[in-house]
Amino acid sequence: MCHDCSALDGTPAAGTSRRSFARFLAAGAGLTVLAACTPDAPAQVPPSSSTTLPPAASPSPVAVATSESPTAAVEPVPEAPVAPSPAATLPRQFSLTDPASPWLVVNKHRPLVPAEYIPADLVQPNVRVIVSGEAALLNSTTAAAAEAMFAAAAQDGVSITLASGYRSYSTQVATYNGYVAARGQADADTASARPGYSEHQTGWSFDIGDGGGACGFQPCFADQPAAVWVKANGHRFGFIVRYPWMFHPITGYYYEPWHLRYIGVEAATDMANRRISTLEEYFGVEAAPGYP
């Protein structure tokens, strides 16, 4: 995801705004869209964090006065049971709140806990990287999957680059505050994740570029070979496009064809087969169009 990537961290790949591109382009501002990225590591979900919801408790009978029996007990209409999330059908379940879990859901309603989380296993993947420093890092699970995916794309004649990876909490503070100073908080919230709310901080996410260098962090990137290939094949390696087209009322961010998120091959393939577009829908959590 790229909603909060910025040149403020000093890396070559940061520096263009992403999530608000539809809004700024429509206004004629000519602004490009900012990107945001994050890393991950799996952890078994505890019973309290399971995606399967407990059955609703049966309501007690309600006493209703009638002409024949002033205190007759009337059975209420039972509530419809809450359907489990699609992900609940998978044999393995992971936490939706643990930052070290591949199923972690981070959005404008679900901040990282702790807010200053740092992945314990950050590494630089053996792929073509066009950034340096922390932005070239991913967690070890995401890095291995990225290596396999980039290699498969290369065999198909498609060149993919790592354009922005991990972003620390302190870097996100500088990035977000820079947008607030330049545009005000309302506009900043459409272009950059608030500190502690960025997927890039987890190590499970990163932004890609096309090997040809065209349309980096711009709407036209969706038509570049790298974006087209990843959209069709990313699930085979455990990746989804985290912020799909026209789902900003659910995800809180506009289309970012460059922002990938690792959730594991099993879950990513299941989402693709079911044609489910967002993590919010797949894991059964509420939409997060804006901050509370």
Q: pLDDT of 271-282, one tens digit each?
A: 999 999 999 999
Is residue 162 over pLDDT 90?
A: yes
Is residue 123 over pLDDT 80?
A: yes
Is residue 8 over pLDDT 70?
A: no
Cis ω for the linkage preceding 114 (within 30 of 0):
yes
pLDDT tens string 52-98: 333 334 334 333 333 344 444 556 656 656 678 999 999 999 999 99
Is residue 43 over pLDDT 60?
A: no
Distance CA 271, CA 138 (A): 23
Distance CA 258, CA 252 (A): 16
| Contact yes or no for 49/171 (Cβ under 8 A) | no
Which pTM was predicted? 0.74
Say which DSSP state 146 is in. Answer: H
Distance CA 105, CA 191 (A): 19
The CA-based angle 204-107-265, given to 5 degrees, is 35
The pLDDT, as a whole number, for residue 77 is 59
Domain 7-46+85-283 fold is Muramoyl-pentapeptide Carboxypeptidase; domain 2 (3.30.1380)
The pLDDT, as a whole number, for residue 78 is 60
Distance CA 127, CA 162 (A): 7
How far is residue 152 CA from its own chain's centroid? 23
How many percent of the chain have pLDDT more than 90? 68
The pLDDT, as a whole number, for residue 187 is 86
Segments making up each domain of the chain, as ranges: 7-46+85-283
Is residue 44 over pLDDT 60?
A: no
The CA-based angle 132-135-140, given to 5 degrees, is 110
| Mean pLDDT along residues 239-244 | 97
Q: Which of the residue ranges 80-89, 151-160, 227-236 would you say has the lowest mean pLDDT?
A: 80-89
Q: Which of 58, 67, 31, 1 is nearest to 251 (CA)?
A: 1
How does the average pLDDT of the chain come out, rounded?
A: 81
